[in-house]
Each structure stands twice: as structure tokens, then as C-alpha cells.
Chains A and B, each alone.
Chain A
Amino acid sequence: GIQVEQSPPDLILQEGANSTLRCNFSDSVNNLQWFHQNPWGQLINLFYIPSGTKQNGRLSATTVATERYSLLYISSSQTTDSGVYFCAVAASGTYKYIFGTGTRLKVLA
């Protein structure tokens, strides 16, 4: 099956800093999502981005499907950005999402 690796596994930032999170996947996919899991365990949809670039406020994401990776950019980080960021992919012809290993982000005030 598809393998999904995220890097870095852990990240500590000062408030106001920028960061880039990476998601590599081992096979072609038709669907890709980025999620933020807050400290209470809730999964929040950030982007549905099987290809191309999207922006939403301080967050943006880029997926290069042909090279099998996606990037999530966080600018001017805030303490509320803390939590775990997951990317999840689904292969062609399936709605079954496979989750990556996650990046645990802590933003310090």
C-alpha cells in the first residue's frame, strides 16, 4: 500500500515565525488533504489539495502530484497553531484515506 511520510516529526517555533511542513507519498494519488488536530483531538480540515496551490489566510499548501509530495506553509505562527498536522492521501479509484506520520508543532509565546 501507499506509504506517507511527513517531516519534520517535531517542530518548535517562536510566535511569529514561519514554517514549512512536508508530506511525501510513495504512489500516485487522486486525493490529498491536510488536517490540524488540536490539543482536544478534533481534526480540522485545512486543505483539500490533490494538485496545485491554495491559500487560506496565513496557511497555504502546494501539491506536486507528479513528484509525489505536498507542502504546507504556516506564516506568522500563533500559539493556537500548536497541535499535530496530518496529511492524508487516497489512491486512484478509492476514497480510503491513508494518514501520514504527522508533524507535532508547538508554538511558544
Chain B
Amino acid sequence: SAVISQKPSRDICQRGTSLTIQCQVDSQVTMMFWYRQQPGQSLTLIATANQGSEATYESGFVIDKFPISRPNLTFSTLTVSNMSPEDSSIYLCSVDSPGTPNEQFFGPGTRLTVL
């Protein structure tokens, strides 16, 4: 399976600021996804990061709030913009496995606290 890293692992931010989270994979992958896990909750898909085109957002998530970049097949970023305390969550990226395309693997997550 692919090895996935995320930066930062955690951060504490002030409301109104923005944070960019990086996701790096050690091999080329077709699909990359971004999820949010609010405290005590399950995971919710934010968007699919498409290489060479705009991300595809799920209902309830918009590009202005969560801009995503995917410049190549091994890297993506998610920005959480104009943050409020409600954005405090774990943000995780996931990728499909080159060996088993329908199986997804997750990065270690970024734990964000907004004051």
C-alpha cells in the first residue's frame, strides 16, 4: 500500500485565519480525497482532488471555504479558509491503492483546533 504523510500533524489557529494542509504520497495514485472528522463524529467526504482540474465537492462543501489543489499524482493540498471554531476537526486525505484500486488508504490526519 502507498505511504501517505500529512503536514502539519496538528495546529492551533485563530478564527478568521486560513490553514493549508499538505498530503504527500510515495507513489503515483489516481484518486485522492479529503475528509473531515468533527469531534466524536464519523468521517465526511469533503471533495475529490482531481489532477489537472478543479476538485469535485460534496454537498455542503464549497470551493471558497475549502480550496484544493492537486498539481501532480503524488501531492494535494486542502486549505481551510476564514476559520471559525466549528472548523475544529481532524482533516484526513485518502488515496486509492495502486495494487487494489477500489481500496482506500488514509493519511495520519491533521488535528485542527480553532480558537
Contacts and interface: CB of A to CB of B under 8 A. Distances in A.
Interface residues of A, number: 21
Contact of B103 (A41, A42, A45, A99): A45
B108 A33 contact: no
B75 to A, nearest CB: 19
Contacts, number: 51
B45 A96 contact: yes
The SS class assigned to the B binding surface is strand
A13 to B, nearest CB: 21
A10 to B, nearest CB: 12
The SS class assigned to the A binding surface is strand
Contacts of B114: none
A48 interface: yes
Nearest to B47: A96
Contact of B102 (A86, A90, A98, A102): A90
A96 B48 contact: yes
A33 B109 contact: no
Interface in B57-115: 58, 90, 92, 94, 96, 100, 102-106, 108-109, 111
A97 interface: yes
Given A95-B31, A99-B44, A100-B42, A41 B102 contact: no
A48 B109 contact: no
B105 A45 contact: yes
B104 A33 contact: yes
Nearest to A47: B103
Contact of B45 (A33, A97, A101): A97
22 contacts: A31-B103, A33-B103, A35-B106, A41-B109, A45-B1, A45-B103, A45-B106, A48-B100, A48-B102, A48-B103, A50-B102, A88-B43, A90-B102, A95-B33, A95-B102, A96-B45, A96-B48, A96-B58, A99-B43, A100-B42, A101-B42, A102-B42
Interface of A: 30-31, 33, 35, 41-43, 45, 48, 50, 86, 88, 90, 95-102
